[in-house]
Every structure is written in structure tokens, then in C-alpha cells.
Amino acid sequence: MSGDSFPLNLPLARFTTDSCEATTLYRELRKPLLRYLAGLGLSTEEAQDVVQDAFLSLHKHVSAGGSQENIRSWLFRVAHNRARGCQKSYARRLGGPLDSVFDSISHEATPEQAMLTKEKFHRLDKAVRSLAAQERECLMLRAEGLRYREIGEVLGIPTSTVADTVERAIKKLAEKCNV
């Protein structure tokens, strides 16, 4: 996997005056940001507030003539830092269980299939929670489609460390989930 940044094809020069680019960017990145923040343990309301704050910061950043090189990783970094500010304790950072995933399991599945699927998600949830914080964060950002270089920018760590951390996290999950 390349460490190159994934460019957003959005002309942000008019971001401060034209809401079209801002709306497109918001639609494209809102859900990935919310998923990442929920994985860090923020409640739905806290995650929504952080995402709104991140986009407000982006508006201020661009208005002040700030760099527009990699807006995607910039937004994730701002959201990550704001999320850290919201968190009160280490236990809270682990986040809630994947209950929302369990609720979305197909109603068309047989009770046995639904139970097996829930069991798999419980094992995965437990395995993810057992990862070190940095492993969990790197893995969640990678799952949101960020490249290693972008993850390094968000977390403030070298790209090589990101690659090693993601690989280690995947191996741990595979062992714990018997894959």
C-alpha cells in the first residue's frame, strides 16, 4: 500500500465563499469521521459536535490562507485531537460495544444465523478492545480508507511505524478471532 495521500477532487479556493464545495466535502467525509470518532469512544452527540467543530476549523483555516494540500488527513487530525480533548478516561476511549452493528443484522436471517453473526461480532469487538490504543487507532483510520502517510499525519507518528502497527494489529486480531 502506498503512503501517497488520496487527493479530494474538490476546488477549495472558493470554500469560504461558495457553500457547494463545503457541502460536497462535508457529505464525503462526515460519515467516515463519525465512524472513526465512535470507535474512539465518543457518543453520537459528541462525535457530531467534533465533526462540526472540525469543519468550522477547516473554514477558518482556509479563510486564513492555510494549506489545502491534504484536507482529508487535516480534518481527521483535527477531529482526532478534539476527540482526545473530549475524553475523560482511558476506559471511555475504548468505546461502546458494537451494539449498533448487532441491530443492523438482517432480519431475514434465521435465528441461528443471527446468533452466529452476533457471536462473531462480539469476538471481534473483544479482540479490537484488547489492542493497544495506537494499534486500534491506526487500524480504525486504515479501515476508513486513510493511507499510511495520512494516518501518520493524523497521529503524529512516522509512516513506517504506522505500517508496522497496522500489521501487528491485524495479526493480533487474526489470532484472537481464529482466522
pLDDT in tens, 10-50: 445 445 455 667 788 888 999 999 988 888 878 888 889 99
CA dist 65 and 63 (Å) reads 5
**What CATH number does domain 7-93 carry, 1.10.3470, 1.10.1740, 1.10.10, 3.20.20?**
1.10.1740
Q: pLDDT class for 87, splitting at 50, 70, 90? A: low
CA dist 96 and 40 (Å) reads 9
pLDDT of residue 125: 81
pLDDT of residue 108: 63
